[in-house]
Structure 1
């Protein structure tokens, strides 16, 4: 494994011959690709009551399936994109992924029943899976270790602005048009990002580095990904934390509308929670090469668990208010911003030679596992914030325990 860049390096350096965009444009493009996923989830939240009313879905908890259906498609399809991109290159697969995303977004917008909408959402998620796998693979093609963690943190800074804007986008559409135009907007966005990538992004996985599509090589790559302690341990830890995040996404519309009775504050509350994540991702990008991914990740996981546990105690013993919910949830999400990029980078660190396949396997575990955990948390909604906060606390504690196991040799040697 190559030596990590020194703490004094101003930024991770790309190979001299790299013909693509500069660092700022590269980060912006990677963030725009990942934002296709965040937009498809978060822009829906203000529209769930309208979707339910239009498609005769009376049970509020059932409306959460608009989110979960997308996540299940997104998680399951990731397994295929990595091996394909390892064999055929990143750019061709990215083009297909974005094109299909736009088509299925439009299909969601014209769905005549809730069942058809869920089917279209599964297909949209399957198409979007390529962006998640390929962003991680493309970044790993160019960077590794702490440098990769720093680049991913920079990507997440821009990417995390999307949850701030997406509910506002959804609310703005609902002011002037039916909810179906939210999906049309997603299709237009995907087409614009596709044009950007076609024009500016070069192939980062040259033919000489590509792997044959054979069952033997796939089994070998899967076995390495699933058996390496750093890979599987940190992937499971990230899955648990993502489960808490998806539980928040599933529950937040009902919490804002039903618990606090302030639907007009949906976008503002989401912004108050998402902006601290972006700020901590920026902080991570500045300090990760100096302090190390593992140390920051473990400290943040401990803080995540403590903040979630404290919030649960406040809500159960004193009572929840809108102010306490936003303040304590923001504190928890500050820690999340220091967790996600570092866990992902550590999990990928030993797998650069199979980056596409490894990213697929890890993405499948993280998304499917996180979606199912988040669905369980969301379906437990009982008119209070307690199910969400209990889920956050349990997910944080379990993730911290798994991360300690996965990184114990590195921690012991630190």
Structure 2
């Protein structure tokens, strides 16, 4: 009873901080080991440099698959018990990863980590949707994502620091320790946000009905698909960042700072979105960002074609592109969720699976095309921007830059 009373006192600032911490479990799962990819490759006899990217992408394979599971479970049993179980599973899989002696075992552990952390994406969105909708939901997600995007700024530096005091295995122990802290926070302070009367029976008929509603609503499915492409751009950058910064441009110890600069641009964009979205709307901001991404990609390709690409032009274009992608992310997520809020857990699962599976496909194509230059990433971003613009135009029925009632 004391725990319930304490949990009921969770105010908005703590709520946002908790959502950000839940999301940060996933962010750290992706970014913390980036400085260690070369060490892992040497220690586990990975002879092809591009194959090191699978340490990131295998995590996202598990992350995408797991999201189909947790939404229906969270809609039936509530958000809190599912979050507790999967955070405990993440701690265990982190210990398994730390003890891996072969590359195959590590990839298996990474898939399991992703499977466990999939709940963090589903439940973060569902928990926010339980309390907010429309522009308020977009604003809350933007504030949480602003904190969340600060994690990639610090994560590689923390990872580098861990490598100073020990082997790459320390990084996985650190991941487990952070998840354990979030688990303790959940136990002590976090209430259940889904009341019993809103819970959905766990049945094949209900699942089919919820899946059908999520996939046949063009706003839900369309914006989830658009989000998958922009998220794919982020994953492609993260997976190839160590090769581009260190191998291509010789950034060496500056890698963590330069990677952090690009992540900082995303955090700034999320902060700006949280301030502007209730005034300007999710559509105006996200659609403007897509057009800007296309323009930046064309300009970047022009610089590469002219032979003028350098470390600093790459950082500039990457940071600006990540700004555009960040302005799309939380807004696409809010617009995708708006018409299916009554089945938020299951809808978040389906949308999360679409987003993650699409992102893995996009990132794999771009990342495995890395050829020692930034050209594959730049052309990939241009294709992403054009494809997203086409999807948004279809979803909106040609009503671009004009608000709808669904915009909240």
If the TM-score is normalised by the length of the shorter chain, which range does it land in?
over 0.9
- Aligned ranges for residues 258-337 of structure 1 at < 5 Å? 258-337=247-326
- Is 1:213 paired with 2:205? no
1:157 matched to 2:132? The reply is no
2:339 corresponds to which residue?
350
SS at match of 2:308: coil
- The equivalences for 1:15-414 within 5 A come to 19-408=8-397, 411=400, 414=403
Structure-2 separation of matches of 1:351 and 1:328: 36
Structure 1 pair 356–308 and aligned structure 2 pair: CA distance change class (3 A): same
On the 8 A contact 1:97/1:127 being kept in 2, the answer is: yes
Shift of 1:243: 1.2
Offset, 1:140: 0.2
The answer for unaligned runs of 5 or more in structure 2 is 1-6, 404-408
Kept in 1, the 8 Å contact 2:283–2:401? The answer is: no
Q: Which moved more, 1:310-319 or 1:125-134?
A: 310-319
Give the distance between the partners of 2:141 and 2:357, measured in 1 at CA: 21
> In 2, distance between residues paired with 1:225 and 1:91?
23
3-state SS in 2 of match to 1:203: coil
Q: Which runs of 4+ in 1 moved over 4 A?
A: none
SS at the partner of 1:408? coil
Is the 2:284–2:401 contact (alpha carbons within 8 Å) kept by the matching residues of 1?
no
Shift, 1:392, TM fit:
1.0
Q: State the partner residue of 2:4.
A: none
Aligned residues: 397
Distance 1:96 1:289 in 2: 35
Quote the offset at 1:375 in angstroms: 1.1
Offset of residue 409 of structure 1: 6.3
- Once the two structures are TM-superposed, the CA of residue 288 in structure 1 deviates from its matched residue by 0.5
1:197 deviates by: 1.4
Separation in structure 1 between the aligned mates of residue 388 and residue 243 of structure 2, nearest angstrom: 26
Q: C-alpha distance in 2, partners of 1:286/1:158? A: 14
How far is the alpha carbon of 1:407 from its aligned partner?
A: 2.0
* Contact 1:294-1:407 at 8 Å conserved across structures: no
| Deviation per residue, 1:333-378 (Å, 9 max, x gap) | 1112211000000000011110000000000010111012101111
Q: TM-score scaled to structure 2, two decimals?
A: 0.95
CA distance in 1, matches of 2:43, 2:91: 23
* Aligned counterparts of 1:294 and 1:335: Cα–Cα separation in 2: 13
CA distance in 1 between counterparts of 2:48 and 2:362 reads 20
Tell me how far apart the structure 2 counterparts of residues 299 and 190 of structure 1 sit (CA, whole Å).
Answer: 36
Structure 1 residue 413, shift from structure 2 partner: 5.8
**Aligned-residue CA RMSD (Å):** 1.2
- Taking structure 1 as the reference length, the TM-score comes to 0.94
In 2, distance between residues paired with 1:34 and 1:166?
14
Q: Distance in 2 between matches of 1:279 and 1:286?
A: 11
Alpha-carbon displacement from aligned partner over 1:135-163 (angstroms, at most 9, x marks no partner): 00000000000100000000000000000
